[in-house]
Amino acid sequence: GAVVSQHPSWVICKSGTSVKIECRSLDFQATTMFWYRQFPKQSLMLMATSNEGSKATYEQGVEKDKFLINHASLTLSTLTVTSAHPEDSSFYICSAREVRSSTNEKLFFGSGTQLSVL
């Protein structure tokens, strides 16, 4: 089946530094990828929709200058948490949309990245 690779799996960083998370679709092209954030015991919250070759669409309340998204190729989207602070500590997970036909598409998820900001 389709595989989405997300790296790193976990990262610890100092407050004020930037962290980049990569999401790759390994065996299909994904024009659309999604970034989610998950707090403990809470639901996955969609942060933004990443579109290849164009600007990402951010959900209400998500700071686009804080969470930079780049989708430069059909197989790679990156999320950069800029000037990270402890409140940014969370589990971030990406998903990639595989379009098989006009009526058949599926989402595949990465394994997630646990970010801890000290």
Residues engaged in binding other proteins (CB under 8 A): 4, 6, 9, 32, 34, 41-46, 49, 93, 95, 97, 105-112
**Min. distance of Cβ 18 from other proteins in angstroms?**
24
By beta-carbon proximity to other proteins, the closer residue of 14 and 54 is 54
Please state, in angstroms and rounded to a whole number, the distance separating the CA atoms of residues 76 and 37.
Answer: 18
**Min. distance of Cβ 73 from other proteins in angstroms?**
20
**Min. distance of Cβ 55 from other proteins in angstroms?**
17
Alpha carbon of residue 118 to chain centroid: 21
**Min. distance of Cβ 116 from other proteins in angstroms?**
15
By beta-carbon proximity to other proteins, the closer residue of 6 and 78 is 6
Do the beta carbons of residue 33 and residue 92 sit within 8 Å?
Answer: no
By beta-carbon proximity to other proteins, the closer residue of 32 and 75 is 32
Please state, in angstroms and rounded to a whole number, the distance separating the CA atoms of residues 71 and 22.
Answer: 10
DSSP 8-class letter at 42:
S
Please state, in angstroms and rounded to a whole number, the distance separating the CA atoms of residues 60 and 113.
Answer: 22
By beta-carbon proximity to other proteins, the closer residue of 29 and 42 is 42
Alpha carbon of residue 39 to chain centroid: 15
